[in-house]
Amino acid sequence: MTISQTLNTTIRKIPAWPIYWIVAAWTGWMFYLAATGKGGGPEPINWLEREYGALALKLLIAGLLITPLRTWTGINLIKFRRAIGVTTFFLILAHFLVWAVLDVQTFERVWMEVVKRKYVTVGMVAFVLMVPLAITSNNWSIRKMGPLVWRKLHKLTYPIVVLAGIHYLWLVKGFQIEPIIYMAVIVGLLAVRFTWHSKKTA
């Protein structure tokens, strides 16, 4: 038995549901730290907003990595992809609410920021595109839509992760290496993904 087969045997015994609880607990803990002044320094709202957004971006990339990881190494983490996707949406929603309700505070200002600032615009587009994916991330939707239509809809993940990377890249001030690395990883994973798809359909 190969190492990947041994790992897959172990992975099959691990349920996906702890991902929901771990992310929910972490989200609540971060909110507690910001609300009580125990975390985030002088700008706890801005800190909380960025913490939620940063983890959401990491989970988007993690979800994108699952298929290449299976192809490269044989390690199959597909069973965790739905949980990763749903918790990613939960974090992006929390990221948006902290920004809109606690930071910007009024609908008029939210709309003005969306129209005025490019990084907010692309972030909002990514958020809106994630809504139908979150709504249909269940077995009932797969049965009603059919697997083919469902898979086509969930290919929105690709533009979403690109927009999220651009959102982070444009958000930071000055030259910072972290958002560039994230964007390079996203572009690299998508390039590999589409190269494989082209070879399959050739």
Buried b (16+ CB within 10 A) or exposed e, 118-155: eebbbbbbbbeebeebeebbeeebeeeeeeeeeeeebe
**pLDDT score, position 198:** 56
Report residue 56 CA to chain centroid gap: 4
How much is the pLDDT for 196?
Answer: 64
The percent of residues in the chain predicted with pLDDT above 70, rounded, is 96
Per-residue confidence (pLDDT) for residue 175, from 0 to 100 = 72
Residue 165's CB is within 10 A of a number of other CB atoms, namely 24
What integer best gives the mean pLDDT of the chain?
A: 88
pLDDT of 98 above 90 = yes
pLDDT at 197 over 60: no
Q: Hey, CA dihedral for 186, 81, 200, 149, is it positive or negative?
A: negative
Question: Tens digits of per-residue pLDDT, 33-72?
Answer: 999 888 777 789 999 999 999 999 999 999 999 888 888 8
